[in-house]
Structure 1
């Protein structure tokens, strides 16, 4: 290959560029990004950046020396609008084309929006520009903030807003936040963190719409209630950025469909990060975005799936001063066993972790399938490593 184009100046895009150079590709390297910014770290946006503990110049993922070493052509502030039928040309929205021998798709995902999000005071939080706008809004004095969605972004943003002194209500359509990820028993832990942290949590309530003319004034719930709001933050998940690939030969279904090695139906095209559905799964986690590129690049350069992704899912979240860590593959029906710490039962904080946090194992058929920690980082790391070793044994066919 003489030219490889990375579409997406994201975390996974940068890691793919690094892997290309590390694995011996010395040809032309083009990196296309729809944002004007060089790759930056997104997790701090909902935490330290919003609260003012960190500034955006601390989030750069590559310094000037590394950027120079990559020897890449950066086409920033430019959106890809198409991939030709043979996957050999990337079409850009400014009319330019990039002829290429290989493509790494790393276009990530975009925040889902609600009707009425054109009102002043309504925000999503996905990009640096999103975070800038929201931080400016939150520094204008006390606000009534409604966060729609109790997932990780919603919970972290709500926690930051509480820390800034705002009155915060979190609206979650499910009976508990994070049930798909944690299961009902331990999702109650996250619900209790909201209440203990000072946010009001409204569960089992759908959103009927937003109220206001020029600026938002409230959130109408499906049960007829209206929550007054000066600021609304919509955190209802993300949609993979695959629209630009419509009409290409690639298979698209909630992401770019790939085999276990991140390869698409075109051998010269791979996908990584939030946009990639690898082996039937799409993971919007930092670890997936950093681990997939090594395998994807190796397979791209080889021209076939010589390697597969075997990383264990892992994510973390900081909420109301608590560090939540999770690793593994939980499924409905798994039993939960708390091995360290415990829960405070009863009252409005039912399900809250006791002082010192907790460590819980998910189990199925005598095997540990996942592990959850609240403020128990060292025991969690030990349990995670054991889980990884067990998974390798299973993958190798050992008992």
Structure 2
């Protein structure tokens, strides 16, 4: 999504400048957030794709190298080396996204990671065989959305997370507990306070997932499918080879006004960037980021990029969860409303509402 957004923004300013997109997938265009809510709707990968990569490339008059891997970037010579040859550039844009974090104790071949269309397609086909036991490792936004979606498709779902309640990194305990109750009402088990310690495959083809609780108690869960949704990380390989300022936890560091990296003529946007010391992993800012980079590439004057925290909406049907503003994990939340139907919490800074959480039944 980030790469295509830049391509469109550049073409809106210039119709003819040569542009090359290199991607490890086939470049098809689709709305990524749909991946966590499509299984219960019976939507397959083919229906999610809005436009093939080849047709999108033709419309934007750019050269597309699908299923191609970048091996090295020489920022001094302004050259990238790929599995299909070497190419020089005047301006380079990193739109590489982020990859799902995989705990070292879990064999990758046993686990699904739903961060791209290929992973979704594999899981959707596996679950189409009939009702199954699914264990999701990770109770954040993606894990929670997937849990409800898979449960609504007729499968038995368990979430395992180190935190005592879901969305611990975003919600205070009072709100997280309410979400856990909503998941439970859907038949979803939330097993908090556990960290996964390993997985093995049984003779019948199922998996034995082991975990340890905070009190040292060992647990064993049986699963037909394991899904890992334990957060994202930016692959350091290419940023480091290009000599970019990079932080392992948050990604490629960019200038907050221009989105240029620490190396001249190289820009970055989307899930892979560190903006003001934080990872920026939301869809909403992509268009504004793409517009700034396009103006930079075309040498046009522009106002500085002005980042604003997007409104976060959890795509669950059992409970509406909306987070707005800039939540401070260390600040207290004031209860504005607390009923069976709605919970509203606010944080204040300088007598102004700085963050708000609204949880309600649809």
**TM-score, normalising length from structure 1?**
0.81
2:255 match = 259
Residues of 2 paired with 1:60 and 1:233: CA distance? 22
Task: Give unmatched runs, 5+ long, in structure 1.
Answer: 1-10, 345-353, 378-399
2:123 match = 134
Residues of 2 paired with 1:123 and 1:166: CA distance? 16
The 3-state SS of whatever aligns with 1:302 is coil
Residue 119 of structure 1 deviates from its aligned partner by 4.6
2:68 match = 78
Residues of 2 paired with 1:89 and 1:14: CA distance? 21
The 3-state SS of whatever aligns with 1:113 is coil
Residue 162 of structure 1 deviates from its aligned partner by 1.1
Residues of 2 paired with 1:298 and 1:87: CA distance? 23
Residue 337 of structure 1 deviates from its aligned partner by 3.9
The 3-state SS of whatever aligns with 1:246 is helix
C-alpha RMSD over aligned residues:
2.5
Task: Give unmatched runs, 5+ long, in structure 2.
Answer: none
The 3-state SS of whatever aligns with 1:287 is coil
Label 1:87 to 1:173 Cα distance change in 2 as closer, same or farther (>3 A). farther
Of Structure 1 and Structure 2, the greater helix share is in: 1
Contact 2:168/2:176 (CA < 8 Å) preserved in 1?
A: yes
Residue 102 of structure 1 deviates from its aligned partner by 0.2
Residue 268 of structure 1 deviates from its aligned partner by 0.6
1:318 match = 315
Identify which of 144, 155, 179 aligns with 2:133: 144
Deviations along 1:369-389, whole A, 9 cap, x unmatched?
Answer: 122233589xxxxxxxxxxxx
Deviations along 1:82-114, whole A, 9 cap, x unmatched?
Answer: 21032621221x151121100110000111223
Label 1:339 to 1:68 Cα distance change in 2 as closer, same or farther (>3 A). farther
**TM-score, normalising length from structure 2?**
0.88
Residues of 2 paired with 1:123 and 1:343: CA distance? 38
2:100 match = 111
Residues of 2 paired with 1:29 and 1:266: CA distance? 20
Residue 72 of structure 1 deviates from its aligned partner by 0.7
Q: Is 1:364–2:349 an aligned residue pair?
A: yes
Label 1:210 to 1:327 Cα distance change in 2 as closer, same or farther (>3 A). same
Residue 207 of structure 1 deviates from its aligned partner by 0.7
1:7 match = none
Contact 1:267/1:303 (CA < 8 Å) preserved in 2?
A: no
Identify which of 151, 159, 162 aligns with 1:170: 159
Residue 273 of structure 1 deviates from its aligned partner by 0.3
Q: Is 1:240–2:237 an aligned residue pair?
A: no
Contact 1:268/1:303 (CA < 8 Å) preserved in 2?
A: no
Label 1:188 to 1:299 Cα distance change in 2 as closer, same or farther (>3 A). farther
1:228 match = 222
Q: Is 1:217–2:211 an aligned residue pair?
A: no
Q: Is 1:24–2:14 an aligned residue pair?
A: yes
1:289 match = 286
Residues of 1 paired with 2:312 and 2:358: CA distance? 11
Q: Which moved more, 1:215-224 or 1:277-286?
A: 215-224
| 1:372-391 alignment, distance < 5 Å | 372-375=357-360
Contact 2:314/2:322 (CA < 8 Å) preserved in 1?
A: yes
Label 1:376 to 1:326 Cα distance change in 2 as closer, same or farther (>3 A). farther
The 3-state SS of whatever aligns with 2:264 is coil
The 3-state SS of whatever aligns with 1:274 is helix
Contact 1:38/1:76 (CA < 8 Å) preserved in 2?
A: no
1:46 match = 36
Contact 1:299/1:306 (CA < 8 Å) preserved in 2?
A: no
Label 1:32 to 1:66 Cα distance change in 2 as closer, same or farther (>3 A). closer
Residue 309 of structure 1 deviates from its aligned partner by 3.0
Deviations along 1:225-280, whole A, 9 cap, x unmatched?
Answer: 11121211111011113312333221111311111031111221110000011222
